[in-house]
Amino acid sequence: MRVTEGGLEFEVPGESTRGVEASVFYNPRQELNRDLTVATLRAYERRNPHAESYLDAMTASGVRGLRAAADGWAVTCCDRDEAAVDLARENAARNDLEVDVRHADANVELHRSAYDVVDLDPFGTPMPFADAAFARCRNLLCVTATDTAPLCGAHFNSGVRSYGAVPRNTDYHPEMGVRILLSALARSGARFDVGVQPLLTHASSHYVRTYLELERKPTAADAALEELGSLSHCEDCLYREHHRGLIADPLETCPNCGGERLLEAGPLWLGPTCDPAFVAAVRDRIPDEFATANKGRELLETLEAELAVPTHYDQHRLCKEWGLPANAMDDFLADLGEAGYDASRAHYSGTTFKTDATVGEIRAATAESLSD
């Protein structure tokens, strides 16, 4: 069956067009991911004009790599599935694109060759490929993780095994996944004296996606590790508090309600997950022709304005906890601003927000409006 994406035409297995998440060859629900990848590559090309080579490490039908090639990147696609390699080559020929398609495991290919940009988009966790990527990626590492249940703490033991961290299934579980992934990647990079700077990160649907600019020197790796820490979360009142450092300093009782039902998570990435200026540059490079243009721009506008604080709150969850009706989000955030706190919407859902206020301070600042 043929599909069109980004102005290119691809042959994909017919059954995959139903959007099955575990499809081997093509997942149409990842089109936003691929559209943002192309826009990110365009923005990064301006940021680093010397970056030229791009590895699509799990190419499947070749869609992501071929879209990068159509934008002028020197693309290598690889896959360990021979049928996928054949299909990617056919799609390259169909679109008259010069792409080096290799039948190889991603780890083998990365140990064999170095690239300016490496894109890891596996089914499940990317961590089995992270060390090889940090060893051989020069500039920009693009990573997708689709195992959101382990990342977010819903499949606890799997999350601990895959990411070497303790994830917790909280009301801000999508951001838990973001920060667990970034922590694991920062620690993987540090083993190679590579520091990471997240330029763009988002949790969308069933996956987390991040774009990391790399700096290959020990001091940069040290600086990245300084962004790691732990989080204490009260199950009774939803208070949370983070602590920097690789040695956890857990709370014994909740400072807000005095409760003792506290969860500990970490090590987590506590630093910024996006560079607002770069996010704006990516947004400006989304053309109207992209099928997900409006959705992508809306996401990036929210990310650009999102406060760089861990973690987000869900207004409806808080109001349910307090036994109060939720009001309009704009009015809710305005109340926080008038009380002297910074606040912004968060991209995780339409009812999520970020603020530098504690949960007790949020209630005090908004209670009057919520009770009207």
Half-sphere exposure of 282 (CA within 13 A, CB side): 29
Q: Give the per-residue pLDDT at 372.
A: 73
CATH 3.40.50.150 in the chain, residues?
2-305
- Within 10 angstroms of residue 336's Cβ, the number of other Cβ atoms is 20
Edge-to-edge order in the sheet of strand 352-355 = 313-314, 352-355, 343-345
**Which stretches within 217-358 are classed as H helix?**
218-225, 276-283, 293-305, 315-322, 329-338
The residue among 104 and 372 whose pLDDT is bigger is 104
Q: What is the mean predicted confidence (pLDDT) over 51-72?
A: 96
**Residue keyed to tokens 């808080």:** 318
Q: Say which range, 10-14, 177-181, 287-291, 320-324, has the weakest mean pLDDT.
A: 10-14
DSSP string, 166-207: B----TTHHHHHHHHHHHHHHHHHHTTT-EEEEEEEEEETTE
Name the band, by pLDDT with cuts 50, 70 and 90, for residue 19.
very low
**Residue keyed to tokens 């990310």:** 303
pLDDT surpasses 50 at 110: yes
**Residue keyed to tokens 């906890």:** 321
Q: Give the per-residue pLDDT at 13.
A: 76
Q: How far is CA 174 from CA 47, 169, 171, 236, 347, in A?
A: 29, 9, 8, 20, 10
Residues 283/304, Cβ–Cβ less than 8 Å: yes
Q: Give the per-residue pLDDT at 264.
A: 96
Q: What is the mean predicted confidence (pLDDT) over 347-369?
A: 96
| Sign of torsion over alpha carbons 127, 129, 131, 137 | negative
Name the band, by pLDDT with cuts 50, 70 and 90, for residue 17.
very low
What's the pLDDT tens digit per position in 284-320? 999 999 999 999 999 999 999 999 999 999 999 999 9
Q: What is the mean predicted confidence (pLDDT) over 159-172?
A: 97
pLDDT above 90 coverage of the chain, percent: 90
| Integer Cα distance of 72 and 198 in angstroms | 24
Q: What is the mean predicted confidence (pLDDT) over 65-88?
A: 95
Q: How far is CA 260 from CA 166, 229, 252, 263, 368, in A?
A: 19, 21, 7, 9, 29
The DSSP secondary-structure symbol of 317 reads H
Q: What is the mean predicted confidence (pLDDT) over 266-291?
A: 97
Q: What is the mean predicted confidence (pLDDT) over 233-256?
A: 95
pLDDT surpasses 80 at 164: yes
Residues 114/55, Cβ–Cβ less than 8 Å: no
Name the band, by pLDDT with cuts 50, 70 and 90, for residue 45.
very high
CATH class of residue range 2-305: alpha beta
Q: Give the per-residue pLDDT at 366.
A: 95
Q: What is the mean predicted confidence (pLDDT) over 67-83?
A: 96
Name the band, by pLDDT with cuts 50, 70 and 90, for residue 15.
low
CATH 3.30.56.70 in the chain, residues?
313-371
- The separation between the first and the last C-alpha atoms of the chain, rounded to the nearest angstrom, is 56
| Integer Cα distance of 341 and 337 in angstroms | 5
pTM (predicted TM-score): 0.95
Task: Count the residues in the chain.
Answer: 372
Q: Give the per-residue pLDDT at 29.
A: 80
Q: What is the mean pLDDT of the chain?
A: 94
Q: What are phi and psi of 263, to 5 degrees?
A: -105, 145
| Integer Cα distance of 37 and 166 in angstroms | 29
DSSP string, 96-131: T---EEEES-HHHHHHH--EEEEEE--SS-SHHHHH
Domain 313-371 part of CATH 2.60.120.260: no
pLDDT surpasses 80 at 20: no
| Integer Cα distance of 364 and 306 in angstroms | 22
